[in-house]
Structure 1
Amino acid sequence: MSDEKRLIKFLLENYERVGIVGRPVYNTSDTVSVRYGLALIQILDLDEKNQVLTTNVWSRYLWNDILLKWNPQDFGGVDHVRVPATKIWTPDIVLYNYADTRLREHREAMAVVSSDGTVLWIPMAIFKSTCSIDITHFPFDQQTCIMKFGSWTYDGFNLDVDFYDDLESVDITDYIESNEWKLLAYPAIKNVKQYPCCDEPYPDLTFTLVLKRIAAFYNYILILPCVLLSSLTLVIFWLPPESPAKMMLGMNVFVAFFLLLLLLADSTPPAASSVPLIGAYFCLNMILITLSTFLSVIVINLYFRGDKKSRVPKWLKRIMVDGLARIMCMNEVLDQDPPRAPERHAVPTNASECTSPHSRRHTKDRKKIKCPELKYNKFQPPVMDYRDGMNSTPRSQQHFSLPTQEQQQPQQPRSPLHSQALETDIREIKRILKTYMNRIHEKDAQGKIAKEWRIVARVLDRLFFFMYVSTIVVSLATIFPRG
C-alpha cells in the first residue's frame, strides 16, 4: 500500500470513528470559518416568464478540519491528498433564493486536503435562482439578479462565512460570453442579518449580476416592423378623405400591430409587475389607428356633408379655418376661399329697361345679366325655341335687336295680335331667365357649403396628423435607450 493510500485510509478511519455529523472542532464554542467564492462560467438562461436565472458556476469552499491533520514525515512526505467529499464533513452553505426542482445542485467532486487540515472543495454546479425581472424597457432592458449564499442551519457564532481569497466579486476568469446577455457588473457583499426571534447573527454572501440584453435579434423582429408600421400609419392622414383606401389601410395596420403584440406576449412574463413600454407602444398605436379609422369616417362624413344644405357652424369655422389652419400653416387652404354665391339680380321685365340710359350705368350688372337684344321683322313675330328646357337659350334672345330707322320706315300699323304675342314672348323670356339665375345661385351656394365642409375636413385631418406624429416621437424617445 502506498503512502497516499495509507494516509487516506488513516484519515477516513478517524472520520468513521467520530462520524461526519457535527462540526470539526474541539470545543462547542469554537467557530468554523468558511471562505466561499463563486466563479461564473456561463449564463445558460434567463427565463423572463418564470423569472429564473440559470448559471453554470464553480463553487469554492475553503475551511480547516482538525480531524484531517497529519505529519507528512509519517507518510513519506505526502502533504496533499484527495478524499471523497461525501466521507468528510462539509459546510451546509446553500443558495437561499434557489428555484430548482432537483435534489442536488452540485456535481460530485473530490476535496483536496492539506497536512495542516485545510480543505479545498471546488464542485461544479448549475444554479437556478430566482430573479426579479423588470421588463419596462424590453428589449433594451437591464436586469439585476442576486445569488445569496449562507449556512442553512448554523448561525454566525458556529459557522462564519467570508469571501474566498478576499475577492468581493464574482470571478469571471473563465467566463464564456453569452449571445443574449452582456455582463455589466458582478459585485459581491457580505450581509449580517439579525432575526427578531434570535440574538445570533446570520451572515450571508450576496453576489450580484447586472445583465444587459443584447437587442440585435429583437431589433429585426419587433422594433423595425414597429417603426415601419408607425410610418405607414402616417400615410392614412395623407390619403384623400373620399378615398376608401383610408379605412382599409387603417384596418390592415391594426391587424399587423396585433400580431406584433402577440409575438411580444410570448417573450415577456404574463404576470409581470410592470408592462413593457414597447407593449404599451403597440397598444397606443392600435388605439391611435382605431381612433384614426374612426376619425377618417368623421372626415369622410364632413367631406361629403356639403351635399346637404347645412352650413358649417360659425364657431367650428372660427376654430378650424381661422384658428387651427393658420397655426398649422395651411396657406393652401386659406388661399382657396370658398367662392361667394352670386348676388341675385332682378331680371329686366321688358326691353326698355335694358336700353334705358339708367340701366347702362350698372355696367357690372349688365355683364352678369345679359339683356336680351330685340330683333324682329315687321312682318314676322319673334320665334322662341324651348327644346332644351332651362339650359337652352331662346332664339329671340340670340337675335333680338331694336329695329333701325330703315326698318321703321314706312311703319305699318301693328295689329293687337302682334303686340300681344310680343309681350307674351318677353314675359316667357323673363320667367326662363329668372329660373335659370335662381338655379345658378342655388348651385353656387351649395358648392360654397360643400367647399367649407371640405376645408374643415382637411384641417381636421392635418390636426390628427400632427397629433399622431407628436405621439409617435414621444413614444419612441421613451422606448429607445438614451446616450
Structure 2
Amino acid sequence: MALSLLMPALLGLMIITLFIDGIAMSDEKRLIKHLLSNYERVGIVGRPVYNTTDTVTVRYGLALIQILDLDEKNQVLTTNVWSRYQWNDILLKWNPQDFSGVNHVRVPAALIWTPDIVLYNYADTRLKEHREAMAVVSHDGTVLWIPPAIFKSTCSIDITHFPFDEQECTMKFGSWTYDGFRLDIDFFDNLQAVDVNDYVPSNEWKLIANPGKKNTAYYPCCEEPYPDLTFRLRVKRIAAFYNYILILPCVLLSSLTLVIFWLPPESPAKMMLGMNIFVAFFVLLLLLADSTPPAAVSIPLIGINIFVAFFLLLLLLADMTPPAASSVPLIVIVINLYFRGDKKSRVPKWLKRIFVDGLARIMCMTEALDEQPPRVERHPMAETSGSASPHRKHGKEKKKIKCPKLEYNKFQPPVIDYRDGAPSRSQIPTDRSPLHSQAIESDIKDIKRMLRTYINRLNEKDSQAKIAKEWRIVARVLDRLFFFMYVSTIIVSLATIFPKA
C-alpha cells in the first residue's frame, strides 16, 4: 500500500527531471559544452594547430565609428572602433548533422584562444582596450570576433598651418609575441582600408583619407618576418570655430595697427592705442599657445605673424617712448630719432643718404623733402664772437671779417675858409671832452657785442631747428618704412595662411 502511494510521486519526479534535462541539454548547449570541453582538456594557452610548424592566419579589419578627440597638446588620437578578427580553430569544428543541423554558436571569447594582436603605438594607461564580446563560431572552425574598442594612439602633430592644418595619424596592429611563421596577419575581407560605413562625422575634424597597408619587418637578430597592418587616418580641421576667435581678431588687430601710423609720434593717443593693441596681441598669443602642443617641432604661421606684429609694434611704440624707458641698443637708435635734434648732433651723411635721399624718394615722401629748411647763411659779424659754432665741426671755417674801429674823439668835420678868395680846409677844435668820447665809444662797443650775441643766437637757433627737422624727416621716413613693412606682413600672412582654408 505504501509502495502504491510512492509510485505516482516517483513518476512525477522522473517527468520533471526529464523535462529539465531536455531544456538544459539542447542541441546548441550540448554543442557549446562539447566545444568548450576540448579547451578544458588541452587549455586555451597555445595556438590551435596540430603541428608546431603550422601557421595560423588571422584576418584583421578596423571599422571606424567615431573620432572622439585629437589632443594636439599631448599628441594623442582617441577613436571609437570595431576590431574584426577572423581565424580558423581546429578545436572548434563539428558535424552539423550530429547537433540537429546547428551551424553557428556563440561562445565567450575568454574561454577560447584569441590572437594577441595589439595596437603598437598605443598611448593608454588602461589595461584593457576591448569591451566584452562573444565570438561567433562556424562548424568548419571559423571564428569571427568583433569586439568594440576605444583606442588611444600616438599621433605626430604638424601645426605649421594651424588652424587650417591637415593631420595624418597611423594605427599599427600586429602580433605582440608571434612572428610571421607562426601567426600571419592579413586584411579582413581583403579591404585594404578602414571601414567607414558606420562612421559618425566629427564636429572638429573631417575625414579625407583612410588607407591601409601591410608591412613586413625583418630584424638583424632574427630571420623570421614580423608582419603588421598599418591604417592611416588623414583628417582636416574644421576651422569655422577658430576663424571667429583667432583668425578674425588677428586680422582686425593687424589692420587696426595701421591707424597708429597716422598719428604723430608726440601724440599721447598713439602710445595708448599701441599699448592696447599690444595687450590684445598678447592675449591672442596666449590663446594660440594653449591650443597648440608645447613640444611641437614646427611653429604655426599665425604665431609667426603675431610675433612679427609684436616686433613691429614694439618698434613703433619705441618710436614714441622717451629714451630712458628702453635699454635695448637697437631700439634706442629708433626711439631717439624723433627727438635727436635736441642733442645738436647732425644726421650722418650715410644715414641721410639712405633715408632722405633714397627711401624717402622711393616711398613718395616728397612732402617731407619739401619741408627741409633752407641753408642758413651766417652773418659775418657773428664770426667775431669767440663762441664756436656747430657748423665748424662739419665744414670749413669761414674767414673772420674784422670791423674797423671808429675814432670819434679824433674826427673833425672840415671847415671851408673863404679868405683871400681861395677856399681852404682847416680843423675847427671840438668842444667835446675826452671823457665823453670814451663813454660813447664804450656804448657803441656794448651795442656791437649785443648785436653779435643776438645774431649768434639766431644762427644757433636756426641751425638747431635745421638739425631737429632733419632728424624728424628721418623719423618720418622710418615710420613710413614700418608702415609698408606692416602692410607687407599682413598681405604675406593672408596669402600664406588662408590658401589652406
Q: Above 0.5 in TM-score? A: yes
Query: TM-score under structure 2 normalisation?
Result: 0.75
> What one-letter code is carried by the residue in structure 1 that aligns with 2:485?
M
CA-CA distance at 1:478 after TM superposition: 3.3
Q: What secondary structure is seen at the aligned counterpart in 2 of 1:46? A: strand
Aligned with 1:324 (options 356, 359, 365)? 359
Superposed, which structure 2 residues align to 1:117-156 within 5 Å?
117-156=141-180
CA-CA distance at 1:253 after TM superposition: 2.2
Aligned with 1:450 (options 445, 463, 468)? 468
C-alpha distance in 2 between matches for 1:259 and 1:480: 22
Q: What secondary structure is seen at the aligned counterpart in 2 of 1:273? A: coil
C-alpha distance in 1 between matches for 2:315 and 2:342: 25
User: What is residue 361 of structure 1 aligned with on the other side?
Assistant: none
1:391-434 Cα offsets, whole Å, 9 max, x none, are xxxxxxxxxxxxxxxxxxxxxxxx989xx99xx8xx89x97988
Superposed, which structure 2 residues align to 1:43-122 within 5 Å?
43-122=67-146
User: What is residue 184 of structure 1 aligned with on the other side?
Assistant: 208
User: What is residue 338 of structure 1 aligned with on the other side?
Assistant: 373
CA-CA distance at 1:472 after TM superposition: 3.5
Aligned with 1:265 (options 273, 281, 289)? 289
Query: TM-score under structure 1 normalisation?
Result: 0.77
Q: Is the 8 A contact 2:64 2:79 kept in 1?
A: yes
C-alpha distance in 2 between matches for 1:436 and 1:91: 105
174-183 or 218-227, which deviates more: 218-227
Q: Which runs of 5+ in 1 are unaligned?
A: 347-414
1:206 aligns with 2:230: yes
Superposed, which structure 2 residues align to 1:146-295 within 5 Å?
146-295=170-319
CA-CA distance at 1:340 after TM superposition: 4.5
Q: Is the 8 A contact 1:241 1:300 kept in 2?
A: no
290-299 or 228-237, which deviates more: 290-299
CA-CA distance at 1:203 after TM superposition: 0.8
1:33 aligns with 2:57: yes
Structure 1 residues 470 and 296: CA distance shift in structure 2, 3 A: farther
CA-CA distance at 1:473 after TM superposition: 2.9
1:432-472 Cα offsets, whole Å, 9 max, x none, are 98887776665555444433332222112112222232234
1:471 aligns with 2:495: no
1:186-230 Cα offsets, whole Å, 9 max, x none, are 100001111111111111111111111111112222212212222
Q: What secondary structure is seen at the aligned counterpart in 1 of 2:297? A: coil
Q: What secondary structure is seen at the aligned counterpart in 2 of 1:49? A: coil
Q: Is the 8 A contact 2:109 2:135 kept in 1?
A: yes
User: What is residue 406 of structure 1 aligned with on the other side?
Assistant: none
330-339 or 256-265, which deviates more: 330-339
> What one-letter code is carried by the residue in structure 2 that aligns with 1:256?
A
Q: Is the 8 A contact 1:69 1:116 kept in 2?
A: yes
1:459 aligns with 2:477: yes
Aligned with 1:302 (options 337, 342, 357)? 337
462-471 or 49-58, which deviates more: 462-471
Q: Is the 8 A contact 1:340 1:444 kept in 2?
A: no
1:24-70 Cα offsets, whole Å, 9 max, x none, are 11222111111100000000111122211110000111111111111
CA-CA distance at 1:163 after TM superposition: 0.3
Q: Which runs of 5+ in 2 are unaligned?
A: 1-24, 322-332, 382-429
Q: Is the 8 A contact 2:60 2:186 kept in 1?
A: yes
C-alpha distance in 2 between matches for 1:66 and 1:305: 94
CA-CA distance at 1:94 after TM superposition: 0.9
CA-CA distance at 1:335 after TM superposition: 3.1
Q: Is the 8 A contact 2:32 2:107 kept in 1?
A: yes
Q: What secondary structure is seen at the aligned counterpart in 2 of 1:45? A: strand
CA-CA distance at 1:310 after TM superposition: 4.1
Q: Is the 8 A contact 2:319 2:337 kept in 1?
A: no
Structure 1 residues 439 and 80: CA distance shift in structure 2, 3 A: same
Identity of aligned residues (%): 79
Structure 1 residues 456 and 5: CA distance shift in structure 2, 3 A: same
> What one-letter code is carried by the residue in structure 2 that aligns with 1:12?
L
Structure 1 residues 32 and 174: CA distance shift in structure 2, 3 A: same
Q: What secondary structure is seen at the aligned counterpart in 1 of 2:74? A: coil
CA-CA distance at 1:296 after TM superposition: 3.6
Q: Is the 8 A contact 1:241 1:299 kept in 2?
A: no
C-alpha distance in 2 between matches for 1:103 and 1:10: 32
Q: Is the 8 A contact 2:87 2:143 kept in 1?
A: yes
CA-CA distance at 1:122 after TM superposition: 0.6
CA-CA distance at 1:291 after TM superposition: 2.3
> What one-letter code is carried by the residue in structure 2 that aligns with 1:451?
K
Superposed, which structure 2 residues align to 1:302-451 within 5 Å?
302-307=337-342, 309-341=344-376, 344=379, 443-451=461-469
Q: Is the 8 A contact 1:3 1:78 kept in 2?
A: yes
> What one-letter code is carried by the residue in structure 2 that aligns with 1:477?
A
C-alpha distance in 1 between matches for 2:67 and 2:259: 44
